[in-house]
């Protein structure tokens, strides 16, 4: 690059959006490193070690490492790794175990949905059972919201993290803010 | 006054809480809590509409959702309105505007009523017989007339301004119906710890307790007990009570759809309040407690306004405090009509006689009637009624024959018994069973995890009903908990409430009872579709034997009420005519929905911007700033062309096409599908899903690949770059992205599960900026770090990783224009700023931005195909001139056997060729057919069609691609494209129109 030229700055797709009504806040979350990790059952241990977070093997569960790195079970051979600080790709490059790691930091956009109407708002478009008994804190799932695919992680009794593809973020936002108005707990 | 027929001291509404509404323009008063039906009756109005076929005056028949007659058009006074609203379901609010339907010029004087006198011309099945000939009359006469006459009400034309909501919810136990049985079941399930949803279609719980004021539960009046019980249930954490909520569809795996009328009863709904909410409930156990619906009697003149169900008259009196008449007759074959008669008599209404079809009646009822001075005529039948816009008299005589007696009446209440509401059970795929003793169909064994209880299950006696309900609630809770805890615990038994019930529902009559009864005139079976007892007899005489045929011939039970009050009468009449038992004639299946549901509720959030996701690329804003016109490609918005001041589309596209070839252009290619294929067996896998070989491709190089379906036809194409030995960057067409991933995943999981390779969609990860044209390298050069982009170091079809504009990038040297080209892939959040930086320099060098239209023209100039435009699912690589991309040495890939099918290797296949318009100026029409001999008479032999056609500024004339039989052998021949105005002569050419030597791409 020509000397003195400033590198291209980063934009988001919905980072300026805000939505708050009594009982509900929807907030875009800051960028994060994300990796789609695929591997067979024999390599889970080695990859857990490389990532410094135990890859969960129970369906619809998630784990969080000491550094705050999160691993979400999405399927029998699939995890979504989220890290706000450090790039998991770097750690995975060192791993000898057979796997596929693909950087999807920019593919996904995340929203936090919180408040006493959070569950009802999500249930306007998500057919999964989101009762705490069936979907407790730290539960996660790749599911749908209206007409798009999303990954849902319960971060608290009344707080969810929703991840969707970048180009669907607008739909997710519009859907949630529309559904929120009619949602009753 | 809230109506002359309101009786002081009767009913549960508060007299001081008045609301105003209008009916056919006339202002009326109602009480808060009234339905439209009760409010009209309070004002002495029975006549609410004209019937569908004969335009007969019709009034309110029922007090519930089964109403066949009183369908009104309702609005809030604005532009929008809702047709066919059932008056007993719609609650009145201040400012409601109701209009009658199917009448002209007015409800009381309706010209359509002439149909009633012409009725001999319109027997059942007249459609099938009358509109047969002449054939030409169909389009000009029959169809317009039938269309105008068909249906009730007028559909609104304006967009629906209301908001609708959806809610998915899971529960342990869903209880449908909140009458005595449903409440007790819900209570038992809740106390056993289950998560319970209790729904009821009425504004308040209670079911039959709305009218049965003689039921006492634990010392309380039944309705009061029901409200208190529901309130206590609502207060629990594990119970949700939904009133005004109809369970209308029982689907597989205990998925039950409910529609909640959220603001239909509210005068001024809050701005954000939905009109309706759809609840999609997935229940571990379902308890159906939907009760029973009373049937009217079938007799001549039984459809006059003022003829009501006995239980409806009781509801209007006991709940709404409204008398249905001052002088009331009763015609029954069931005990419950007596209770109605007694309640009316006790409220001071004159009961002239109880005509009981049965030969004998319970002595106790006789006595109670005698105490009130009411005549009871057993073994009698009503032979006719008088009156036109309202009933004014009835005639009856002994069934065995004898003199007729006449009464002057202003209302007639009837009951022929109660039909268990087995609709939802039937929807759940259960098969009903005929119970000969009580003359009714009852639910058979459950097919899903459900149970039916109470009146809908034929349980009549109160104590038995309570025991059944409580046991069902407890059992459902136990089963549901076992499903999620793997264990069940016993809960203390609930004690049955202390119940006294006086109303008996003994006695039933199906059909008219006797054909003698029907001589006096029209005896209606299905009020909504105007089907009479004689129509059903006619159907049988015409040879119909199964109820399925009779139903379709007569249309009985086929109206929007699905024959809730009529099906069994129709069936019984047919069975009697056929001299066969009822179950042998059969009962039709109940369809979803139980009652009509608005499209708004079904569509709910999925309208406007939420109808379908709109996907925008990371550079969308830049395109808007540059004035792009956009094109929808699948869900994507793509820049179509970038008009400058004064340019129309053609001028803009011509300028863009010229500029790209003379200087360069920037193009947003982000929407191309991208799939990262990673794993030690990645190359092996690509070898199997693409026609060409991938093993020898070295990292840093790219290849164009074709993907086939098993049948050998082209499925998708795209450029694949090898990033590392075990990592490929696959691109697909924009529209093909999801299906290509599915196709690959499908083969990976089912055919090649042993391969160690994984697929990840990265379409949204990368923003892709194509820089194409002679100055492409000049444009990007200052921004690229860590990559030698010289022609020698980075030839056409290569890929490098490095930095562009200070951002980690994958830089492809590829071209879909035939020019020197790069595709800059940067993480999406940098797309806009990288585009802006590249554009600043590109503009300074004289380049342009170009859109999809220019992209199409430029690629056609080079003969590059677009899958789905130049192919249609019947084109092989050979047909498309891409035989070179099929590896000859490979022993297996998807489609290899398909390609060897005789048809696919035969001569005479359609092949992709170019077409040159002989006149040098006419752009062909895409899709136009091609013939060899323009003089042949129609139908001509079509030998191909135009797949792509554009004006090519760079070639100075029109260009086209076409699929033509034996096309490649015809190069140089003249063919013809017959159009509406003229026949165009075209010369068959090679597919490449520009830079045939292909030198520019390597610049």
User: What would the pLDDT profile of A53-95 be if each residue is shown by its tens digit?
Assistant: 999 999 999 999 999 999 999 999 999 999 999 999 999 999 9
Q: From the options 3.30.365.10, 3.40.50.620, 2.40.50.1070, 3.30.70.1520, give the CATH code of A33-103.
A: 3.30.70.1520
* Residue B835: closest C-alpha in chain A: A8
Inform me whether the pLDDT recorded for B555 exceeds 60.
yes
Q: What is the mean pLDDT of chain A?
A: 96
pLDDT in tens, B580-632: 999 998 887 899 999 999 999 999 999 999 999 999 999 999 999 999 999 99
Does any domain span residue B427?
A: yes
Across the interface, of B609, B758, B763, the residue whose CB is closest to A100 is: B758
Name which of B162, B168, B260 to mutate to probe chain A: the one with the most chain A Cβ atoms within 10 A of its Cβ. Answer: B168
Checking if the pLDDT of B136 tops 80, the result is no
Q: Which of B828, B836, B839, B844 to mutate to test the interface with A (most CBs of A within 10 A)?
A: B828
Do B67 and B35 touch, CB atoms closer than 8 A?
Answer: no
Indicate yes or no: CB of A128 within 8 angstroms of CB of B782: no
**Interval B524-545 mean pLDDT:** 92
Task: Show the DSSP H helices in B12-122 as ranges.
Answer: 36-42, 114-117
The answer as to whether B613 is a domain residue is: no
Let me know: does B942 contact B955? Beta carbons within 8 Å: no
B822, part of any domain: yes
Q: Are strands B393-398 and B405-408 parallel, antiparallel or unpaired?
A: antiparallel
The residue segments making up the domain with residue B425 are 164-292+421-489
Give the nearest chain A residue to B277 (CA atoms).
A182
Is the residue at B24 inside a domain? Answer: yes
Q: Do residue A174 and residue B765 have CB atoms under 8 angstroms apart?
A: no
Using CB atoms, which residue from B765, B805, B831 is nearest to A1?
A: B805
B396 and B475 together in one domain = no
A151 phi/psi in degrees, rounded to 5:
-115, 130
Question: How large a percentage of chain B has pLDDT more than 90?
Answer: 86
Residues of B in contact with A10 (CB under 8 A): 829-830, 833
Domain match, B80 and B121 both:
yes
Check whether B492 has a pLDDT greater than 70.
no
% helix / strand / coil in chain A, to the nearest 5?
A: 20, 35, 45
Q: Is B272 on the interface with A (CB under 8 A)?
A: yes
At B39 the pLDDT is: 98
Closest CA to B639 of B852, B883, B431, B448: B852
Q: Helix B462-485 crosses helix B180-191 at what angle (to 10 degrees)?
A: 40
pLDDT at position B491 over 70 = no
- Please give the span between the terminal C-alpha atoms of chain B, in angstroms, as a whole number: 93
Cα–Cα dist B944/B875, whole Å: 12
Distance, in Å, from the CA atom of A81 to the CA atom of A33, rounded to the nearest integer, reads: 8
Task: Please state which of the ranges B124-133, B267-276, B881-890 shows the lowest mean pLDDT.
Answer: B124-133
| Contact at CB, A98 and B679, closer than 8 angstroms | yes
**pLDDT over threshold 70, residue B127:** no
Distance from CA of A74 to the nearest CA of B (A): 13
What ipTM goes with this model? 0.97
Query: Is the confidence at residue B437, as pLDDT, over 80?
Result: yes
- Give the C-alpha distances (Å, rounded to integers) separating B50 from A24, B69, B548, B992: 50, 8, 28, 70
Query: Measured between alpha carbons, how far is A84 from A71 in angstroms, rounded to an integer?
Result: 12
**A6 contacts on B by Cβ (under 8 Å):** 806
How does pLDDT run across B245-265, given as a tens digit for each residue?
A: 999 999 999 999 999 999 999
DSSP result, B123-178:
-TTHHHHHTTS-TTHIIIIIHHHHHHHSSSS----SPP---EEEEEEEEEEEEE--
Q: Rounded CA gap, A112 and A27, in Å?
A: 5
Spatial separation of the C-alpha atoms in residues B714 and B882, rounded to whole Å: 10
Smallest Cα–Cα separation from B289: which of B454, B430, B65, B429? B454
B436/B393 same-domain check: no
DSSP B664-718: -EEEE-TTSEEEEEESTTHHHHHHHHSSS--TTPPTTBEEEEEEE-TTSSEEEEE
- Domain edge (last residue) among B859, B893, B919: B859
Q: Does residue B137 share a domain with residue B223?
A: no
Indicate the number of domains in chain B: 5
pLDDT tens digits, one per residue of B844-870: 999 999 999 999 999 999 999 999 999
Tell me whether residue B77 is in a domain: yes
Quote the tokens at residue B201: 């279609």
Judgement on whether residues B827 and B708 belong to the same structural domain of the protein: yes
| Residue B567, in any domain of the structure | no
- SS3 of B745-811: HHHHHHCCCCCCCEEEECCCCEEEEEEECCCHHHHHHHHEECCCCCCCCCCCCEEEEEEECCEEEEE
Same domain? B683 vs B782: yes
Chain A closest-CA separation from residue B264 CA (Å):
15
Please state the rounded mean pLDDT for residues B295-308.
96
For B916-927, what is the mean pLDDT? 96
* Closest residue to A147, CB basis, from B606, B756, B827: B606
Token pair of A96, please? 């000898």
Strand, coil or helix: B575? helix
| Residue A2, pLDDT above cutoff 70 | no
Taking an 8 Å cut-off on Cβ atoms, the answer to whether B166 and A124 are in contact is: yes
The dihedral sign for the CA sequence A23, A29, A33, A38: positive
Q: Please give the Cα distance from B583 to B435 (Å, whole number).
A: 9
Three-state DSSP class for residue B565: coil
DSSP state of B925: P
Task: Give the range among B316-330, B497-511, B694-708 with minimum mean pLDDT.
Answer: B497-511
Residues of A with Cβ-Cβ distance to B167 under 8 angstroms: 120, 123-124, 183
Compare CB distances from B678 to A100, A105, A133 and report the shortest one's residue: A100
Asked if B355 contacts B381 with a C-beta cutoff of 8 angstroms, the reply is: yes
Nearest C-alpha in A relative to B483: A134
CB-based contact (8 Å) between B170 and chain A?
Answer: yes
Task: Name which of B588, B531, B779 is nearest B789 in CA terms.
Answer: B779
Task: Name the domain boundary from B361, B382, B414.
Answer: B414
- Among residues B289, B290, B291, B280, the alpha carbon closest in space to that of B171 is found at B280
Same domain assignment for residues B776 and B723: yes
Whole-number pLDDT of residue A1: 53
Mutate to test the interface with A, among B165, B237, B745 (most CBs of A within 10 A): B165
**Same domain membership, residue B110 and residue B24:** yes
Whether residue B736 lies inside any domain: the answer is yes
Provide the CA B228 distance to its chain's centre, in angstroms: 37
pLDDT in tens, B90-99: 999 999 999 9
Angstroms from B643 CA to nearest CA on chain A: 25
Give the tens place of pLDDT for each residue, B365-413.
999 999 999 999 999 999 999 999 999 999 999 999 899 999 999 999 9
| Angle at alpha carbon of residue B309, lines to B123 and B415, rounded to 5° | 85
The residue out of B414, B430, B450 marking a domain boundary is B414
Question: B634 CB near a chain A CB, below 8 Å?
Answer: no
Residues 828..847 of B with a Cβ closer than 8 Å to A: which?
A: 828-834, 836-837
Distance from CA of B488 to the nearest CA of A (A): 16
Question: Cβ contact (<8 Å) for B277 and A182?
Answer: yes
- Show which of residues 768-787 on chain B sit within 8 Å of chain A, judged by CB atoms: 782-785
Q: Which of A22, A77, A100 would you mutate first to test chain B, the one with the most B CBs within 10 A?
A: A100
Residues of A in contact with B678 (CB under 8 A): 38, 100-102
pLDDT score, position B513:
82
Domain boundaries, chain A: 19-30+107-182, 33-103
Q: Are B165 and B209 in contact (CB under 8 A)?
A: no
> CATH number for the A19-30+107-182 domain, one of 3.30.1360.120, 3.40.640.10, 3.30.1220.10, 1.10.10.10?
3.30.1360.120
Kindly identify which residue of chain A lies nearest to residue B279, measuring between CA atoms.
A124
Phi and psi for A40 in degrees, rounded to 5?
-80, 170
Nearest to B829 by CA among A113, A171, A108, A37: A108
If you average pLDDT over every residue of chain B, what do you get?
A: 94
pLDDT (mean) for B515-544: 88
pLDDT at B152: 78
Same domain, B821 and B729: yes
Say if B10 is an interface residue toward chain A (CB within 8 Å).
no
Averaged pLDDT for residues B192-216: 97
Q: Are B407 and B329 in contact (CB under 8 A)?
A: yes
* DSSP one-letter code for B25: T
Yes or no, beta carbons of B272 and A148 under 8 Å apart: no
**CA–CA gap between residue B667 and residue B673 (Å, rounded):** 16
Q: For residue B805, give the CATH number of its domain.
A: 3.30.1360.120
Give the N- to C-terminal CA distance of chain A in Å, as an integer.
54
Give the Å distances, CA to CA, from B793 to A29, B400, B482: 42, 110, 68
Kindly report the nearest CA distance between residue B608 and chain A, in angstroms.
11
Neighbours of A113 (CB within 10 A): 24
**A106 vs B277, B827, B837: nearest CB:** B827
Other beta carbons within 10 angstroms of residue B906's beta carbon come to 8
- Per-residue HEC secondary structure of B600-666 comes to HHHHCCCCHHHCCCCECCCCHHHHHHCCCEEEEECCEEEEEECCCCCCCHHHHHHHHHHHHHHCCEE
Contacts of A125 in chain B (CB under 8 A): 166, 168, 605
Cα–Cα distance, B100 to B83 (Å, whole number): 9
Contacts of B195 (CB under 8 A, 6+ apart): A131, B170, B171, B172, B173, B238, B239, B480
Q: Contact, B220 vs B192, CB < 8 A?
A: no
Task: Enumerate residues 192 to 211 of chain B having a beta carbon within 8 A of any beta carbon in chain A.
Answer: 195
Task: Please judge whether A179 and B837 are an interchain contact, meaning their C-beta atoms are less than 8 angstroms apart.
Answer: no
Q: Examine the domain organization and report whether B337 and B260 are in the same domain.
A: no
Q: Are B72 and B122 within one domain?
A: yes
Q: Distance (Å) from the C-alpha of residue A84 to the closest C-alpha of chain B?
A: 16
Contact residues on chain A for B737, CB-CB shorter than 8 A: none
Contacting residues of B for A5, CB less than 8 Å apart = 782-783, 805-806, 837
Both B141 and B219 in a single domain? no
Residue where the block lists tokens 């992205």: B737
Structure tokens at B73: 């058009």
Q: Which residues from A are below 8 Å from B636, CB to CB?
A: 167
The Cβ of residue A27 has, within 10 Å, a number of other Cβ atoms equal to: 15
pLDDT above 70 for B129: no
What pLDDT, in 10s, does the model give residues B786-839?
999 999 999 999 999 999 999 999 999 999 999 999 999 999 999 999 999 999
pTM for the model stands at 0.94
Residue B370 placed within a domain: yes
């Amino acid at each position: 690059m020509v000397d003195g030229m400033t590198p291209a700055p980063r934009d988001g797709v919905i980072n300026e959006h805000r939505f708050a009504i009594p009982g509900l806040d929807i907030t875009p979350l800051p960028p994060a490193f994300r990796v789609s990790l695929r591997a067979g059952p024999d390599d889970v241990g080695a990859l857990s070690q490389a990532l410094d977070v135990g890859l969960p093997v129970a369906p619809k569960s998630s784990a969080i490492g000491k550094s705050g790195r999160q691993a979400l079970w999405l399927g029998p051979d699939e995890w979504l790794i989220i890290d706000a600080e450090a790039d998991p790709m770097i750690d995975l490059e060192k791993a000898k175990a057979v796997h596929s790691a693909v950087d999807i930091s920019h593919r996904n956009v995340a929203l936090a949905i919180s408040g006493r109407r959070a569950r009802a708002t999500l249930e306007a478009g998500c057919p999964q059972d989101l009762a705490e008994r069936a979907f407790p804190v730290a539960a996660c799932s790749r599911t749908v919201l209206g007409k798009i695919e999303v990954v849902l992680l319960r971060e608290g009794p009344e707080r969810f993290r929703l991840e969707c593809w970048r180009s669907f973020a607008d739909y997710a936002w519009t859907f949630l803010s529309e559904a929120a108005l009619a949602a009753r707990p | 006054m809230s109506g002359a027929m309101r009786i002081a001291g009767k009913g549960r509404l508060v007299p001081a809480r008045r609301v105003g509404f209008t009916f056919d323009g006339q202002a009326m008063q109602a009480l808060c809590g009234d339905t439209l039906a009760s409010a009209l009756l309070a004002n002495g109005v029975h006549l609410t509409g004209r019937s569908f076929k004969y335009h007969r005056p019709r009034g309110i028949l029922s007090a519930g959702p089964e109403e066949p007659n009183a369908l009104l058009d309702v609005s809030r006074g604005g532009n929008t309105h809702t047709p066919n609203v059932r008056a007993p379901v719609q609650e009145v609010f201040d400012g409601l505007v109701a209009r009658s339907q199917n009448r002209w010029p007015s409800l009381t004087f309706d010209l359509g009523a002439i149909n009633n006198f012409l009725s001999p011309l319109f027997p059942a099945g007249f459609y099938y017989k009358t509109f047969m000939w002449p054939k030409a009359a169909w389009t000009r006469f029959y169809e317009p007339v039938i269309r105008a006459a068909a249906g009730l009400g007028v559909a609104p034309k304006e967009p629906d301004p209301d908001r609708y909501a959806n809610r998915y919810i899971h529960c342990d136990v869903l209880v449908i119906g909140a009458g005595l049985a449903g409440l007790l079941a819900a209570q038992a399930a809740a106390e056993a710890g289950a998560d319970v949803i209790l729904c009821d279609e009425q504004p308040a719980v209670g079911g039959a307790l709305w009218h049965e004021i003689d039921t006492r539960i634990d010392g309380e009046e039944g309705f009061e007990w029901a409200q208190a019980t529901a309130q206590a249930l609502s207060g629990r954490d594990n119970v949700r009570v939904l009133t005004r909520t109809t369970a209308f569809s029982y689907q597989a795996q205990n998925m039950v759809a409910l529609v909640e009328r959220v603001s239909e009863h509210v005068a001024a709904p809050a701005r954000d309040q939905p009109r309706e909410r759809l609840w999609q409930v997935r229940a571990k156990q379902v308890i159906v407690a939907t009760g029973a619906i009373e049937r009217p009697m079938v007799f001549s003149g039984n459809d006059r306004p003022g003829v009501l169900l006995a239980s409806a008259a009781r509801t209007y009196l006991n709940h709404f405090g409204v008398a249905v008449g001052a002088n009331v007759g009763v015609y029954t074959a069931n005990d419950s009509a007596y209770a109605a008669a007694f309640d009316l008599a006790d409220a001071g209404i004159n009961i002239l006689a109880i005509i009981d079809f049965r030969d004998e009646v319970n002595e106790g009822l006789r006595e109670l009637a005698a105490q009130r001075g009411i005549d009871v005529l057993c073994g009698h039948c009503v032979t006719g009624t008088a009156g036109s816009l309202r009933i004014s008299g009835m005639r009856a005589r002994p069934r065995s024959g004898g003199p007729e007696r006449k009464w002057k009446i202003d209302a007639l209440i009837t009951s022929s018994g109660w039909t268990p509401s087995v609709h939802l059970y039937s929807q759940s795929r259960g098969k009903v069973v005929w119970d000969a003793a009580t003359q009714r169909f009852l639910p058979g064994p459950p097919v899903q995890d459900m149970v039916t209880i109470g009146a809908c299950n034929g349980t009549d006696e109160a104590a038995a009903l309570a025991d059944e309900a409580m046991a069902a609630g407890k059992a459902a809770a136990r089963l549901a908990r076992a499903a999620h805890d793997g264990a069940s615990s016993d809960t203390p038994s609930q004690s049955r409430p202390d119940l006294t019930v006086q109303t008996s529902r003994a006695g039933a009559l199906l059909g008219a009872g006797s054909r003698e009864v029907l001589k006096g005139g029209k005896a209606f079976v299905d009020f909504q579709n105007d089907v009479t007892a004689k129509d059903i007899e006619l159907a049988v005489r015409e040879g119909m034997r199964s109820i399925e045929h009779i139903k379709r011939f007569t249309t009985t039970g086929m109206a929007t009420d699905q024959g809730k009050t009529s099906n069994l009468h129709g069936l019984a009449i047919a069975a009697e005519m056929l001299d066969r038992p009822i179950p042998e004639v059969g009962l039709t299946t109940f369809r979803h929905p139980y009652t009509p549901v608005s499209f708004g509720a079904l569509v709910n959030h999925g309208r406007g911007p939420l109808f379908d996701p709109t996907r925008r690329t990371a550079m969308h804003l830049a395109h808007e700033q540059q004035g792009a016109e956009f094109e929808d490609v699948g869900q994507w918005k793509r820049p179509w062309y970038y008009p400058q001041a004064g340019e129309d589309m053609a001028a803009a596209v011509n300028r863009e096409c010229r500029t790209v070839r003379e200087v360069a252009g920037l193009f947003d290619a982000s929407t191309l599908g991208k799939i990262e294929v990673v794993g030690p067996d990645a190359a092996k896998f690509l070898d199997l899903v693409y026609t060409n070989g991938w093993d020898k491709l070295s990292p840093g190089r790219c290849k164009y690949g074709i993907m086939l379906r098993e049948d050998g036809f082209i499925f998708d194409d795209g450029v694949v770059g090898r990033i590392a030995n075990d990592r490929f960057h696959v691109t697909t067409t924009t529209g093909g992205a999801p299906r290509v991933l599915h196709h690959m995943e499908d083969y990976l999981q089912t055919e090649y599960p042993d391969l160690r390779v994984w697929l990840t969609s990265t379409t949204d990860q990368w923003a892709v900026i194509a820089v194409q044209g002679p100055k492409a390298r000049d444009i990007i050069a200052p921004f690229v770090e860590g990559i030698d982009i010289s022609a020698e170091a980075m030839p056409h079809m290569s890929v490098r990783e490095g930095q562009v504009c200070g951002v980690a990038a994958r830089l492809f040297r590829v071209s879909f224009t035939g020019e020197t080209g790069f595709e800059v892939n940067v993480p999406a959040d940098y797309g806009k700023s990288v585009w802006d930086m590249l554009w600043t320099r590109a503009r300074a060098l004289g380049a342009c931005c170009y859109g999809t239209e220019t992209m199409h023209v430029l690629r056609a100039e080079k003969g590059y195909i677009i899958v789905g435009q130049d192919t249609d699912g019947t084109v092989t690589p050979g047909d498309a001139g891409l035989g070179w991309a099929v590896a000859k040495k490979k022993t297996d890939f998807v489609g290899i056997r398909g390609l060897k099918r005789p048809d696919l290797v035969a001569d005479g296949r359609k092949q992709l060729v170019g077409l040159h318009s002989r006149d040098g100026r006419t752009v062909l029409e895409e899709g136009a057919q091609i013939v060899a001999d323009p003089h042949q008479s129609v139908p001509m032999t079509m030998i191909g069609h135009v797949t792509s056609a554009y004006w090519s500024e760079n070639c100075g004339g029109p260009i086209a691609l076409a699929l033509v039989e034996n096309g490649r052998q015809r190069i140089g021949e003249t063919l013809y494209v017959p159009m509406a105005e003229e026949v165009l002569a075209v010369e068959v050419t090679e597919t490449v129109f520009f830079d045939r030597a292909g030198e520019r791409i390597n610049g």
